[in-house]
Amino acid sequence: MHPTWPDSNTFWRDKRVIVTGGSGFLGSVVVRKLQERGAAAVIVPRKQEYDLRNLDAIRRLLEDSRGPGGAAVDVIIHLAANVGGIGANRARPAEFFYDNLMMGAQLIHESWRAGVGKFVAIGTVCAYPKFAPIPFREDDLWNGYPEETNAPYGLAKKMMLVQGEAYRAQYGFNTIFLLPVNLYGPADNFDLETSHVIPALIRKCIEASERSDHRLVVWGDGSPTREFLYVDDAAEGILLASERYNDPAPVNLGSSFEISIRDLVETIVRLTGFEGEVVWDTSKPNGQPRRKLDVSRALETFGFRSTTSFEDGLRATIAWFRSHRDALPVRQER
């Protein structure tokens, strides 16, 4: 460990932390890791009580979360987002833009006003230009327009980077901006209307096997490539950045492992035991041609490196779905 980096357990021992989206897929792992590190208080706002699109709710949350003597929260990790796959983004682009923009812009502003010590903004790989050079380097973030199907969501999240830099320059407010690649893992969203590619494929393969289907239809032609980061690794990266990183420059969080959608499908088919034919529906969009991050800045500035192999992560995700599927929503036919 770098000699100037704080010890994780010591760092969090006296910290009051708000984790927005803390009951969600990534957030629940971040909360668990904060508790394991001995954080003094971890506050998880629920949407029904604190709708973060609403200014009054944000102000109430920050007031309700104050510590002894009215002390402001030490760290906010902003994970809450309205997210979805290609289909959801195509169907509801205005909703994805508005909800994410309002949450981020108002929460950063009110956190500064309330005296919050540090704001950790979580962006998205969807913010990168559609044809950014591979691997995506943080310095290329502004060299083009994002892939169209995800652009409203990606740009709304990207505004937190602009706002954070502005508030740091004018007010000295300590904000950082992290760019995780596509996440996956146990407790992911397996709702076929809104899920991302890995949980959707896992569910489709398992259910197709159980029905003895002879074919499985998959969107696109399989040519795009993606990088995926296991959820526990992503949570660790976020906490290491929270502890050790205090600069305005954005930082990628990834695994350095790139795989084509075709190879991804073949791997999930093998691991789930589906024995039918895979049919590629080329009338459906592929999305961004390639996604792979340069992760050197995260390693250099706060020592983060992913540790979970892709196949191990897939096996854990498949096992979780098999053991929890009875509690999940009924499959929606498309």
Q: How far apart are CA 177 and CA 151, in angstroms?
A: 18
Helices and strands in the chain: count of H runs, count of E runs: 11, 11
Q: How far apart are CA 117 and CA 111, in angstroms?
A: 9
Query: Which is nearest to 301 in space by CA: 249, 233, 235, 254?
Result: 249
Contact of 167 with 112, CB cutoff 8 Å: yes
Phi and psi, residue 269, nearest 5°: -55, -45
Neighbouring C-beta atoms of residue 91, cutoff 10 Å = 12
Task: Return the ∠ at Cα 107 (arms to 251 and 81), rounded to 5°.
Answer: 65
Contact of 58 with 110, CB cutoff 8 Å: yes
Could you list the active site residues? Answer: 153
The torsion angle over the Cα atoms of residues 52, 56, 62 and 66, rounded to 10 degrees, is: -140
Contact of 243 with 231, CB cutoff 8 Å: no
How far is residue 203 from each of residues 118, 261, 308, 317, 323, measured CA to CA in Å? Answer: 39, 16, 22, 11, 12
Nearest-10 crossing angle of helices 310-324, 261-272: 50
Sheet containing 225-230: order of strands: 182-184, 225-230, 258-260
Instruction: Identify whether 285 is preceded by a cis peptide bond (ω within 30 of 0).
Output: no
Residue type, 286: N
Residue with tokens 């192999």, as numbered in its chain: 309
